[in-house]
A and B are shown apart, each in its own frame.
Chain A
Amino acid sequence: MDSQQSHIGASRNARITRYEPNGRQPRGTSADVRLSLPARPENVAVIRHVLGAFAEALRIPPEQVEDMRLAITEACTNVVRHAYYRESEPGPIDVIIRPDDERLHLIVSDRGEGIGPSPDADGPGLGLPLIAALADSVEIQPGPTRGSRLSMSFTRRPHVGAA
């Protein structure tokens, strides 16, 4: 565990950890999908749809796909609502979907304000705890220059009826 991380919350399944600068950076592999879209509400549906297609192709059980879709929806909605609230036009949401043999990793980044207290925050603040409840691990890191990077991973369950 990186000595520079600080624990900022916990829930049923996952600890949420925040990494300080110089923390570990998620690494891409040759099997990943990267999406970058303007941080607009309608684009959250595109990301959710792509994740669904990806997970179905990997034969991940439908109930786990729904957990993943809900978690990424929350993460992307956070970016849409908070990351660029100071700016007249939204910046990008960057999403990486990265499978390995045992897990599916989802990384949602912004290049704006990042995750943290926001003066425009008027919601109940359930997004991160919900993500933590759905994912097997959650990490929050600062972006390379601005913003933050939310990494979630899900242990892939076997598809019922799989050979």
Chain B
Amino acid sequence: MTAEPSTTVSIASGPLVGPILRRVVGMLAARADLPLDRLDDAVLVADLIAARAPAHSVDDKINVALDPGHRSLRLRVGPLRQGGGRALIVDAAVPGVGNVIEQLADELSVSPEGEAEFLHVRLAYSNGR
């Protein structure tokens, strides 16, 4: 962990959330040296967050903190309303495919903070994938 500030993006709910978030995630995933298939996965997760998070946000904004590491990218989504973290994951289920975020993330957790909570997603490159 460095003292350097992380990257944060805050976008008003609406049609611009997807185009903005997917670009930020895509560029930082590339910066983290994720291979192309994992970069695609990261962008897909970003699209799902963009589509589902507005229903669970505590306000009208989608807030995401991004932390690119060595061949990994961490996303912290929130603040979300109580129960919103799990609900966001459940909402990302696609009929016939299953839960896309759960399938793509290497780590997935929800942490409470005050009266809100945050969804943490980590995507990483793994030779065994």
Contact = CB atoms under 8 A, between A and B. Distances in A.
Given A46-B27, A49-B27, A53-B23, A36 B16 contact: no
B7 A43 contact: yes
Contact of B12 (A33, A35, A91): A33
A36 B23 CA distance: 15
Contacts of A57: 15-16, 19
Interface string A28-39: 011111111110
Interface residues of B, number: 22
A31 B16 CA distance: 9
A92 B10 CA distance: 15
Interface string B1-20: 01111111111101110011
Nearest to B5: A92
- Which of A33, A54, A56 has the most chain B CB within a 10 Å cutoff? A33
A89 B3 CA distance: 8
A31 B4 contact: no
A60 interface: no
A32 to B, nearest CB: 6
Instruction: Identify whether the interface residues of B are mostly helix, strand, loop, or mixed.
Output: mixed
Interface residues of A, number: 24
Given A30-B60, A45-B27, A54 B20 contact: yes
B15 A91 contact: no
A57 B22 CA distance: 13
Given A42-B31, A57-B19, A35 B3 contact: no
Contacts of B11: 33-34
Given A46-B24, A46-B27, A35 B15 contact: no
Nearest to B8: A36
A90 interface: yes
A34 B10 contact: yes
A90 B12 contact: no
B123 interface: no
Contacts of B31: 42
Given A31-B14, A45-B27, 19 more contacts: A31-B12, A32-B12, A33-B11, A33-B12, A33-B16, A34-B8, A34-B9, A35-B10, A36-B5, A37-B5, A37-B7, A50-B20, A50-B23, A50-B24, A53-B20, A54-B16, A54-B20, A57-B15, A89-B3
Interface of A: 29-38, 42-43, 45-46, 49-50, 53-54, 56-57, 89-92
Q: Nearest 4 pairs between A and B by C-beta?
A: A34-B10, A92-B5, A53-B19, A36-B8
